[in-house]
Chains A and B, each alone.
Chain A
């Protein structure tokens, strides 16, 4: 459990409605990570989906955000507070290298928090923004993440195959946000002006989700 880690979402009251409170099944012992994610059947008993079981069996578990795959199994998934806080939520997804690297990054982000490189406010804001963007569009692309020399966490949606299109969010140590969007194709510029924001406005998420979602052809 990370200190001062608050699992409630910043952006959407129903962002975690796919998750149910954890229910331990008697006599079951699992690793800390696998115990945090358990599918629940209609009878309310905790059980493991076949796909997840297979992944656990090979010692490699991937988690994503959304609900499509989980619902496809006729199950819902519950997320323990520790994984919710570190961002290692929620559902098994198709294996690819970027997913693996993203999960590795989320693990390192928790370490950065413990090391004091990233503040709790930055950690919470980044995960909340990512979760909300994925809630609005499960296929939204992953951003580049930097920590600047001044300690600002910076998320950038900026890709070679999207020339002229960019979305950036700077997250300062106190959690304040500076965002910017530009789409040169349609001559649109938006973002924070002189005042920093405490929350990303709804239109920012709409721009992010509508602009940077992968098409069906791009999905693995």
Chain B
């Protein structure tokens, strides 16, 4: 499938997945993802280092399957799912397609790579205000059932 143009909006009805690299050691009953899963990784910060907009990496499930998305991130990851409309409603500025870099460009599922904009800490914004904003966005994501990274999953 042809990749949507970089920077174009992911349709609001689409589901997206975030794959945070965190080793899950224990999960209690009824746990929901916190904002820790939406802080920029070292790679994401590096991508934005040259003045580009900071985007938190996600995948559009209309264009990329969960196994395909996971293949781009070797190692253990969580799989957190949300609908774009809810993410925008929680305060994200945009969810836009973003081309993966070579040599991954032609790999299956590459077309669905996207990024959430508006999660960086604003100028003059306190750390607590920024964390609270991330929390509002985290609240619309859920852990995809059966996709935990540990035998401790309920």
* Residues on A facing B (Cβ under 8 Å): 97-98, 101-102, 104-105, 108-109, 112, 141-150, 154, 156, 158-161, 163-164, 166, 168, 170, 180, 182, 184, 189-194
- For B39, give the chain A residue with the smallest CB separation: A148
CB distance from A93 to the nearest CB of B (A): 15
Please indicate the chain A residues that have their CB under 8 angstroms from the CB of B152 in the complex: 101, 104-105
Query: Contact at B22–A146, with CB atoms within 8 Å?
Result: yes
> Per DSSP, are chain A's interface residues mostly helix, strand or loop, or mixed?
mixed
- For A143, give the chain B residue with the smallest CB separation: B28
CB distance from B50 to the nearest CB of A (A): 22
Please indicate the chain B residues that have their CB under 8 angstroms from the CB of A146 in the complex: 22-25, 36
CB distance from A98 to the nearest CB of B (A): 6
CB distance from A218 to the nearest CB of B (A): 10
Please indicate the chain B residues that have their CB under 8 angstroms from the CB of A141 in the complex: 28
CB distance from B71 to the nearest CB of A (A): 17
CB distance from A176 to the nearest CB of B (A): 15
Query: Contact at B35–A108, with CB atoms within 8 Å?
Result: no
Determine which of B21, B28, B127 lies in contact with A193 in the assembled complex, contact meaning CB atoms within 8 Å. Answer: B127
Sorted nearest first, the 10 A-B pairs with minimum C-beta distance are A105-B26, A149-B21, A145-B25, A146-B22, A145-B26, A158-B34, A142-B28, A147-B23, A159-B30, A144-B31
